[in-house]
Structure 1
Amino acid sequence: MNIVGKKIGLSTQVFSAMILGAVFGLLFGGVMVKLEFIGTIWLNCIKMIVVPMVLMTIITGITSQKDLKSLGRIAVRIMVYYVLTTLVATVIGLATASVLKPGVHANFTGLASKEVSGSTDITIAQFFTNMFSSNMFVTFSESNILQTVVIAVMLGVAIMLVKNDEHREKLISGANALCSMVFSLIGMIMKASPIGIFFLMGASFGKYGTSIFTSMATLLGTYYLACILQVLLVYGLVLWFAAGISPLRFIRDSAELWVYTLSTCSSVAAIPVNMKVAREKFNVPDSISSFTVPLGSQMNYDGSVILYGCVIMFISQVCGQSVSLEMMLRVVLLSAILSTGGGGIPGSGIVKLLVMVEAFSLPTEIVGIIAAFYRLFDMGTTTNNCLGDLAGTVLVSKLEEKRAKKLAATQDNN
């Protein structure tokens, strides 16, 4: 086993496990559904380490900066990127669904509706209030990632502001040591990825069979086309013009990441993989990726807002309701606000989708049907979110690199 493991890379093992799992699910569906608990155990191990991973990577990302000024510059750049790409992603989702009109060709015969529950009363004030924890230990125990990010930023800045040099260095050294331990544990868990993914994929295909590809084919195809357009036209072109990285190279070099996210549907669990790809394929220093990638996992939801736009257009077309330019603008703005509020919304993705549909007085029954097949959409959502995080991280790294070269050239001239 060790010999084989050395010859075959982890990404190849994961991809092979995904294919084999699908085949076994189709051939031995009942057995694979019963064995789903094996994949669930692996997934639980990942979830177990998520909070300490986010906490320590952001703290060490902040404390690795030369000063708070450089941290602020990186933070502003990545946040501007995340906001702009989110707005563009919503427009792409709306435009793609407007052109292809998936709702006109949709057929819901034989589909079973799935009840969606959860609070849909969300305000801007509630969103910002939910970002700040009143008890950090409760935040950690409930795995509230958005609050964990805020706590980590506050702790990292607090360490940087410690006036006693000896104490500050000890705190930084201790944070780095804890971060090393966390990533050592992640490495152990990741070695079991092929096993966990094999059983998760087998169970999914065992439950739904090939019908999962046909029941929501029109909407699913439209959504994935919009995701591809976002990757090529937004991430690809931004990196091409700003960093000289072609869209095809970006897709090729990020393969380990998107193969992983297609399999796991977890952007938070993909943080270490994303950082690894950024470091090994795009030469991004950990001091940048350890801050921008975890932040992106909570701020950057391009894949999610693409889905919002597609679903709004889809349901409108099914109902024969026309969509005005004003309505489209409202979809763009509401999507941008709602997409970053996952930590404070019970039920997360599908409930946020329900909120969007209710906000425009469209029938929520169709959201229930979509919810029954949400795993298929979540594969694209997670992958697009993470590729957006990676592209933003690479962009900021290249901008920092150009700035450093410019400063060095100025100093040489002086």
Structure 2
Amino acid sequence: MQTVASESGSTLRNYASILLLLGGICLGSLVGFIFGNKVEGVKFIGDIFLNLLFTAIIPLVFFTIASSIANLQKTERLGKLFGIVAGVFLLTVLISAAVMAGVMLLFPIDQGNTLRTIAAQALIDNPASAHQALTPSAGASLTQVLTVNDFFELMARKNMLALILISLLVGFATLRAGEKGKAFAQFLDSANEVMKQLLAMIMKIAPLGLGAYFAYQVGVFGPQLLGVYVHPLALYYATCAAYFVIFFSLYAYFAAGRLGLSIFWKNNLTPALTAIGTCSSIATIPANLLAAEKMQIPDYVRNIVIPLGAPIHKDGSSMSSIIKLALLFAMFGKDFSAPEMLLAIMGITVIVSVVEGGIPNGGYIGEVFAITAFGFPMEQALPVAMVIGTLVDPIATLLNANGDLVSAMMVTRIVEGKDWLSSRLNK
């Protein structure tokens, strides 16, 4: 009885930040509904929170990426195996994103009056972003997207791609420096940890900040604003549930036939419940490793795929990225179905799923990157994306974490051949 109570309390603690955030949003929405336009005076609280978040994003992204690359020495000897792992991760992320994009094309989000009103108000509040929001990203030159001509311009959110490119190059330069670069690598690690803690501190006031934002939005635009989220959320949960059952079964079948299908679902319950209960891919690593051992996945595969996949392999996050972008495209009147846009969306989704890994509340950083890449007004688009991200987090984590386990099976199939599981079970 005590164990059950302890587990219940642990689950509640793991969801505390989400529950507080949802509580702030609900309370703010209720205040806006009751007092209407009178709540316009609280908008500054939401603005303060968003400004703090924007200020922390640039150094956080730089130090996270640069320090990750600078510490790749541990994987240099993995050779062919590392390449296979990267290929499997990339393939499943692209498949998950393609599935969600297909669903959004079949059931598009209606560009209703509420969405158009919110977008119009965003351009009034932020006239400097009007040209950027209405200019197709496909028309931007590659040079302008990937580079800047002065260092200080890397500090602007609109140049996020250029910042990421420089971060990668700094990380690789640190690797090339060898022994002489170790001190700088330690600095990157230390700075990365400091920026993570800064973000964690800022996110403490997220319930208040987003609560104030929603009080203003509901007070100004009316309670119909909340209906905007029903359609995308219903589509997301239904699609993710189908993806979890159908595609993970297909992956397990590819890995080891009917035997693989059986052993995957037989040992999958504990990792799945751990992922949902903790809302953390990192926290699910021990359960995944134990399940992988029971599934006869060799240690040299499971000890690489699962720890590496936790921060960078994100099937669920790629699907949530698609749903957020579909809502924002509808909100700002862009054509989600345009072929060049779909290609850009897929590319951005892959990058976002990697960038956000290993960062507390990293989904918010990925959202900033995606919003910047497509030129949406940040002050209006980010809160919308954050709410969607919060509401989809449990099932997104389930797909992220379980995706590592089934990926380890597929990697073993490629490395050891199609009979790997039967040969191990017969020993």
**TM-score normalized by structure 2?**
0.60
Residues 108 and 197 of structure 1: is their aligned pair in 2 closer, same or farther, counting only changes over 3 Å?
closer
Task: State the alpha-carbon separation in 1 of the partners of residues 385 and 15 from structure 2.
Answer: 29
Residues 124 and 236 of structure 1: is their aligned pair in 2 closer, same or farther, counting only changes over 3 Å?
farther
Residues 8-407 of structure 1: pairs in structure 2 closer than 5 A? 9-65=16-72, 66-68=74-76, 69=79, 75-97=86-108, 115=120, 117-118=130-131, 119-123=134-138, 126-127=141-142, 130-142=145-157, 144-162=159-177, 164=178, 166-213=179-226, 221-234=230-243, 237-238=246-247, 253-254=275-276, 277-283=280-286, 289-291=310-312, 301-304=321-324, 306-307=326-327, 331=338, 334-338=341-345, 340=348, 343-347=372-376, 379-380=387-388, 391-392=399-400, 395-396=403-404, 399=407
Count of residues in Structure 1 that have an aligned counterpart in Structure 2 = 337
Give the residue type in structure 2 aligned to 1:192: I
- Give the unaligned 5+ runs of structure 1: 258-276, 317-327, 351-370, 410-414
1:54 Cα deviation from its structure 2 partner: 1.3
Task: State the alpha-carbon separation in 1 of the partners of residues 324 and 273 from structure 2.
Answer: 20
Give the residue type in structure 2 aligned to 1:280: A
1:76 Cα deviation from its structure 2 partner: 4.0
Give the residue type in structure 2 aligned to 1:203: Y
Give the residue type in structure 2 aligned to 1:205: V
Residues 232, 247 of structure 1: 8 Å contact kept: no
Match of 1:266 in 2: none
Task: State the alpha-carbon separation in 2 of the partners of residues 107 and 142 from structure 1.
Answer: 29
Question: Counterpart of 1:144 in 2: which secondary structure?
Answer: helix
Residues 89, 407 of structure 2: 8 Å contact kept: no
1:53 Cα deviation from its structure 2 partner: 1.3
**TM-score normalized by structure 1?**
0.62
1:27 Cα deviation from its structure 2 partner: 1.9
What CA deviation, in whole Å up to 9, does each residue of 1:41-77 have, x standing for no partner?
1121111111111112222222333234577555544
Task: State the alpha-carbon separation in 2 of the partners of residues 315 and 345 from structure 1.
Answer: 10
1:30 Cα deviation from its structure 2 partner: 3.6
Question: Counterpart of 1:280 in 2: which secondary structure?
Answer: coil
Question: Counterpart of 2:147 in 1: which secondary structure?
Answer: coil
Q: Out of 69-78 and 169-178, give the one that drifted further.
A: 69-78
1:381 Cα deviation from its structure 2 partner: 7.2
How large is the Cα RMSD of the aligned pairs?
5.0
- Give the unaligned 5+ runs of structure 2: 1-11, 124-129, 253-263, 289-305, 349-369, 421-427
Residues 237, 395 of structure 2: 8 Å contact kept: no
Task: State the alpha-carbon separation in 2 of the partners of residues 32 and 67 from structure 1.
Answer: 54
Residues 144 and 290 of structure 1: is their aligned pair in 2 closer, same or farther, counting only changes over 3 Å?
farther
Task: State the alpha-carbon separation in 1 of the partners of residues 137 and 334 from structure 2.
Answer: 22
What CA deviation, in whole Å up to 9, does each residue of 1:133-172 have, x standing for no partner?
444431223453222222222222222222x3x3232222
Task: State the alpha-carbon separation in 2 of the partners of residues 199 and 46 from structure 1.
Answer: 15
Residues 140 and 209 of structure 1: is their aligned pair in 2 closer, same or farther, counting only changes over 3 Å?
same
Question: Counterpart of 1:28 in 2: which secondary structure?
Answer: helix
Task: State the alpha-carbon separation in 1 of the partners of residues 311 and 382 from structure 2.
Answer: 30
Which has a greater percent of helix? 2
